């Protein structure tokens, strides 16, 4: 291990140069015009994995973006880890808010900036660098690794579920390992054991059959923007609760022990509000901020448009208005049920003055990993060795919809070994990864691979 750790120490520049190349590829999964870039990114990874000494490296095309698979299974009798990551990224817009170009890795103040730096290319690369350290120094890994790198996580992982269903034998492993979450704070390593789910909807309103002069027509018909605004304001009550009937029916109550353990975490509402530049926090009454973020469902309007939004003034009464609304879900809410309840309620509260359509864009289930699952102890030891601190247990507000599918289809739990930080601007301009976390992350994963056989008996 000493040699491997030294290799990591001596190769910071080399690791950085390699990750920077990957970050230049704009693999934005949601934009049709970036499809060739997503494919280029998959081929880049194939080449890299082959060079790394991984075997059976292949691309599985899907109706959406390709899945990259690779494995290294040369230590029979040792545990097998299924490593999952996603190489697709969110759009970089608004571009003018980036200090350095989004698809050019730039180091400033000990951080590496670029779209995908933390979510999730940088975190994938932590593992690829860990594997490289073993391969270059001992020519082998201490465990068996199967790897799937997905190109559609940011758009709901639509084609990954059928892929898993059709390749159960290929993917069989003792546990799933994902680095696509954040640590609690800088210098405070943590293991994540819960993710929220998601249900994403769009509402489109049509009023008059064309845009109208707001002087000639204003006062005679309802403006769809006004109707939409009224609908949106009806979705929460004054206590911050979502008003959709049945929305909370399946919400698992927070256990007393869990509430106590959240309260013990080093958290300050005041500091959090200050960091975000808000004068006060807001949310569902009766719950602490961490409870609201990790264990309570929410509804957010993600975008709203309609009418004239250019420079200057235009007196128009628009024909159309739309909004994108997503709901974060917690165990045991079901995305498909929530989508139906949402649609029913929107239809009910919409005025007769407009035509309303409700679309279900995508959904993903919430997930909880038992903290005594196989491999968890190895993760605790590895984080302590990599970061010099004992990790905390935490949940997350974000979603990785495939985690539940791994459990349902392959019967295995997922360890969420995240190396991001909550303030790294994921999905926003100036995304970055802390270089300390990047390099300590590499140390942590090599320890994890090395420790795992001590804690987990190969089962399959």
Least separation, in Å, of the C-beta of 37 and ligand BES? 18
* Least distance (Å) between residue 139 CB and ligand BES: 33
| Beta carbon nearer to Zn ion, 379 or 416 | 416
Residue 181 partner contact from Zn ion, ligand BES, none using kind-dependent CB cut-offs of 5 to 8 Å: ligand BES
Q: Is 127 left (phi over 0), alpha (psi -120 to 50) or beta?
A: alpha
The least distance separating ligand BES from the CB of residue 118, rounded to whole angstroms, comes to 8
Alpha helices by DSSP H, 167-296: 168-171, 214-217, 224-233, 256-263, 269-276, 289-294
The angle subtended at Cα 445 by Cα 443 and Cα 448, nearest 5°, is 115
Rounded to 10 degrees, the C-alpha dihedral 37/42/48/50 comes to: -150
Cα-only R_g, the chain: 23
The neighbouring-strand residues paired with 413 are none
**In whole angstroms, how close is the CB of 41 to ligand BES at the nearest point?**
15
Residue 66 or 156: the one with the smaller Cβ distance to ligand BES is 156
Which residues are part of the catalytic machinery? 88, 153
427: left (phi over 0), alpha (psi -120 to 50) or beta: left
Distances (CA, A) of 198 to 3, 24, 331: 44, 29, 11
Judged by beta carbon distances under 5 to 8 A according to partner kind, the member of Zn ion, ligand BES, none in contact with residue 228 is none
* Comparison of 328 and 385: residue with beta carbon closer to ligand BES: 328
For 186, residues 6+ apart whose C-beta sits below 8 A from its C-beta are 421, 434, 436, 437
Q: Which does 399 bind (CB under 5 to 8 A by kind): ligand BES, Zn ion, none?
A: ligand BES
Tell which one of 150, 180, 424, 431 touches Zn ion (CB under 5 A).
180
364 binds, among Zn ion, ligand BES, none (CB under 5 to 8 A by kind): ligand BES
The verdict on 119 binding Zn ion (CB under 5 A) reads yes
Q: Which residues bind ligand BES (CB under 6 A)?
A: 119-120, 153-154, 156, 180-182, 198, 364, 396, 398-401
H/E segment holding residue 84: strand 80-86
Give the nearest distance from C-beta 284 to ligand BES in angstroms.
19
What's the closest the beta carbon of residue 202 comes to Zn ion, in angstroms? Answer: 22
Residue 353 near residue 221 (C-beta atoms within 8 A): yes
72 or 387, CB closer to ligand BES?
A: 387
Cβ-closest position to ligand BES? 398
Residue 287 has which token pair? 């719950």
Q: Which is nearer to ligand BES, 84 or 387 (CB)?
A: 84
Name the nearest CA neighbour of 254 among 286, 212, 298: 286
- Distances 162 to 62, 64, 166, 167, 235 between C-alpha atoms, Å: 10, 12, 6, 9, 34
Query: Would you say 408 and 168 are in contact if contact means Cβ atoms under 8 Å apart?
Result: no
Residue 451 interface partner, choices Zn ion, ligand BES, none, CB cut-off 5-8 Å depending on type: none
Burial class (CB in 10 A: 0-12, 13-18, 19+), 60: middle
Judged by CB under 5 A, the residue of 120, 343, 396, 451 near Zn ion is 120
Q: Min. distance of Cβ 119 from Zn ion in angstroms?
A: 4
Q: How many residues bind Zn ion (CB under 5 A)?
A: 3
Q: Pick between residue 157 and residue 223 the one whose CB is nearest to ligand BES.
A: 157
* Dihedral sign, Cα of residue 163, residue 166, residue 171, residue 172: positive
Nearer to ligand BES, 116 or 207 (CB): 116
Question: Interface with Zn ion by CB under 5 A: which residues?
Answer: 119-120, 180
């Amino acid at each position: 291990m000493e040699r491997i750790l030294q290799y990591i120490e001596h190769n910071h520049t080399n690791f950085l140069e390699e990750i920077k190349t990957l970050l230049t590829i704009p693999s934005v999964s949601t934009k049709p015009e970036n499809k060739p870039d997503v494919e280029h990114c998959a081929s880049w990874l194939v080449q890299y994995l082959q060079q790394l000494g991984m075997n059976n490296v292949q691309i599985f095309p899907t109706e959406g973006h390709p899945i990259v698979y690779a494995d290294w299974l040369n230590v029979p009798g040792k545990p097998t880890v299924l490593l999952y990551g996603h190489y697709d990224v969110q759009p970089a817009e608004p571009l003018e808010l980036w200090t350095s170009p989004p698809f050019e890795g730039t180091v400033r103040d000990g951080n590496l900036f670029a779209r995908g730096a933390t979510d999730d290319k940088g975190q994938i690369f932590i593992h690829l660098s860990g594997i490289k350290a073993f391969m270059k120094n001992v020519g082998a890994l201490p465990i068996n690794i199967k790897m799937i790198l997905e190109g559609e996580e940011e758009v709901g992982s639509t084609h990954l579920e059928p892929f898993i269903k059709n390749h159960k034998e290929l993917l069989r492993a003792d546990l799933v390992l994902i680095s696509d979450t954040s640590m609690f704070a800088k210098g405070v390593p943590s293991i994540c054991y819960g993710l929220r789910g998601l249900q994403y909807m769009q509402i489109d309103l049509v009023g008059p059959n064309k845009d109208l002069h707001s002087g000639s027509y204003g006062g005679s018909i309802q403006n769809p923007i006004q109707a939409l605004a009224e609908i949106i304001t009806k979705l929460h009550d004054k206590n911050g609760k979502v008003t959709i009937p049945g929305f909370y029916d399946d919400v698992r109550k927070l256990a007393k022990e869990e509430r106590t353990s959240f309260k013990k975490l080093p958290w300050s509402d005041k500091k959090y509000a200050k960091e975000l530049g808000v004068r006060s926090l807001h949310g569902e009454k009766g719950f602490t901020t961490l409870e609201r973020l990790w264990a309570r469902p929410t509804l957010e309007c993600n975008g709203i448009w309609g009418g004239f939004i250019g420079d200057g003034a235009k007196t128009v009464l628009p024909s159309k208005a739309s909004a994108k609304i997503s709901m974060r879900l917690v165990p045991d809410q079901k995305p498909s049920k929530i989508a139906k309840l949402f649609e029913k309620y929107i239809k009910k509260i919409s005025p007769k003055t407009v035509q309303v359509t409700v679309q279900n864009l995508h959904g993903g289930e919430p997930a909880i990993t038992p903290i005594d699952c196989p491999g968890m102890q190895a993760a605790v030891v590895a984080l302590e060795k990599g970061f010099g601190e004992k990790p905390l247990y935490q949940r997350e507000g974000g979603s990785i919809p495939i985690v539940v599918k791994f459990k349902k289809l392959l019967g295995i739990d997922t360890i969420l070994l995240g190396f991001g930080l909550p303030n790294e601007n994921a999905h926003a301009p100036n995304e970055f990864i802390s270089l300390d976390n990047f390099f300590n992350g590499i140390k942590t994963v090599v320890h994890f691979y090395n420790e795992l056989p001590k804690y987990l008996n190969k089962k399959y």
